[in-house]
Amino acid sequence: METFFKQLCAREKQFKVLVVGDLILDVYLKGRSTRLCPEAAAPVLEIATCEQAPGGAGNTAYNLASMGAIVTCMGVTGNDEGALDICGLLTQQQINAAVIKAPDRGTMVKTRLVAGTQLLTRYDSGTETAISAALEQQLIAKLESCYGQYDAVVLADYHKGLFTPRVIAALESLRRLYDNFLAVDAKDLRQFASLRPSVAKPNSLEVAQLLHLQFGAGKRTEALQDVGRDLYALTGAAVTTVTLDDEGALVFIKDQLAAHTTAHKVRHPQVSGAGDTYISTYTLASLYGADPVSAATIAGMAAGIAITKDTTASCTSAELMAASAVQGKFVEDIATLAMLGTLYRNAGSRIVFTNGCFDILHSGHVNYLRNARELGDVLIVGINTDDSIRRLKGNDRPVNTLAERMEVLAGLSAVTHIIPFGEFTDDTPCELITALRPDIFVKGGDYTLETLPEAQLVEQLGGKVQLLPLVKGRSTTAIIREISSRKLLPASYKTGV
């Protein structure tokens, strides 16, 4: 996984991906509801905003482009306002919209009414019947003209009439000619088995319907662990990942269960389009060389980010890099710190922040950091750079370099993440606090709220300042003074002589 994130960050190679599938326009009418209408016990929604997002294959393409791929999105829409909106959204994301607009069809539009964070209802419009023979021919011609130009092809089937037997037969012929990575996300994977996909991604409900399974509450994961042979017979996929919502995913390599990946907990998930994020990220991770289990782990991480958003799910490369930072202790920049804060808040975690030089780590530091961590779920520590310490404490400090000080702090279980700070114009952690927006800002008891320059900023951002008592007589300065006062052995003294 580490290799994938390094490559994603470096952007040394951009992969070309073709997404083929059902195009949907997702519309969110958002507002507030404070009363019922007189005609029935139904809420009256006072609409404040109207938001649009590409759904279906469009969202798959959107996710791939957000993570740095060069994307073409191919599908069929009506020749109407919905089609214009979809193409506009794709173009904004620099996605090539290879869209066939059919006058005799209506673009699929899903409109959601949302009061606050509560979905009230959804209504759908558009044509869902199979495309005509003429449209089949146009689509096949487009596929044949460009299929071999892409590193990967993703098929996104929402049962909206695009994938007819004739279209699938054409894809089968192209599959024999070209060895692209092929990902399939479909409600019924059986019709794509002849393509022998590189990966297929059903959810647990789709698997239950395919295999005629029933399982009780809390028994889903256990019941699906033994379906590898039957699932492989139906999908023909080299890898099948069965997504399980908040229970993660089961990864099958051919007919054998390879892993059960876990999911990141989210307080108020908005799951529309999470599967699109998953298959997009899995595809890109595989192109970068990730093995199936690692690709599934990364895809689950991306889906966990996407469902924290209040419209159709998507994930950017920057957000994915921030999520990977959760796995390690060192945070490299302000942007990653800000995204980490968002991820932890969305997961319901209470964020504690403190800062200091931590030059010679001693028992006072350890107790202080342990007590700080107990105030919340994660403890993020800002640590002054070497130049910052020299400005604050003189040229004979620090005793230990920044790299050494960070390494020692990282060894403490109380510390979740560490980020260096300090500029010539500002040696305070105010920039970190603004980006992170901690729930609690902790400092030692040698400060007061009146003498703490960051206190007002923390409170403005909705946080709380907590002062912790220090261990008397324990400080880096006192330790240095004690060492200096002792008579040292002559430089010529050698042990054992």
Kindly list the catalytic residues.
276
Would you list the DSSP string of 283-325? HHHHHTT--HHHHHHHHHHHHHHHTTSSSS----HHHHHHHHH
Task: Please determine, for residue 491, whether its predicted confidence score (pLDDT) is greater than 60.
Answer: no
Task: Please determine, for residue 161, whether its predicted confidence score (pLDDT) is greater than 70.
Answer: yes
Residue 336: predicted pLDDT:
85
- Alpha carbon 400 to its chain centroid, in Å, reads 36
* Tens of pLDDT, residues 428-461: 999 999 999 999 999 987 778 888 889 999 999 9
Task: Please determine, for residue 495, whether its predicted confidence score (pLDDT) is greater than 60.
Answer: no
Task: Please determine, for residue 2, whether its predicted confidence score (pLDDT) is greater than 60.
Answer: no
Cβ proximity of 112 and 130 under 8 Å: no
Confidence of residue 497 (pLDDT cuts 50, 70, 90): very low
- Which tokens is 495 given? 């042990």
Q: How far apart are alpha carbons 426 and 210 in whole angstroms?
A: 61
Residue 496: predicted pLDDT:
46
| DSSP for residue 311 | S
The listed range with the strongest mean pLDDT (29-43, 182-196, 267-281, 350-364) is 182-196
Comparing 12-26, 203-217, 443-457, 481-495, which segment has the lowest mean pLDDT? 481-495
Domains of the chain in start order, with CATH, are: 2-325 (3.40.1190.20), 334-484 (3.40.50.620)
For 491, residues 6+ apart whose C-beta sits below 8 A from its C-beta are none
In the chain, pLDDT over 70 holds for what percent of residues?
A: 90
Decide which of 183 and 478 is more confident: 183
For 249, residues 6+ apart whose C-beta sits below 8 A from its C-beta are 241, 242, 243, 260, 261, 263, 278, 296, 299, 300
Comparing 12-16, 181-185, 445-449, which segment has the lowest mean pLDDT? 445-449
Q: How far apart are alpha carbons 392 and 398 in whole angstroms?
A: 10
Q: Strand 440-444 relative to strand 351-356: parallel, antiparallel, unpaired?
A: parallel
Give the strand order in the sheet containing 43-56.
43-56, 23-36, 108-115, 118-125
Cβ proximity of 67 and 149 under 8 Å: no
- Asked if the peptide bond before residue 453 counts as cis, ω within 30 degrees of 0, the response is no
Hunting for tokens 């009061």 — which residue is that? 115
Residue 487: predicted pLDDT:
56
* Tens of pLDDT, residues 34-54: 899 988 888 999 999 999 999
* Tens of pLDDT, residues 342-372: 888 877 889 999 999 998 888 888 999 999 9
- Structural element, H or E, at residue 478: helix 476-485
Residue 492: predicted pLDDT:
53
Q: How far apart are alpha carbons 59 and 65 in whole angstroms?
A: 10
In sequence order, the β-bridge partners of residue 249 are 243, 261
Which residue, among 357, 409, 360, 354, has the nearest Cα to 386 in the 3D structure? 357
User: Which amino acid is located at 385 in the chain?
Assistant: T
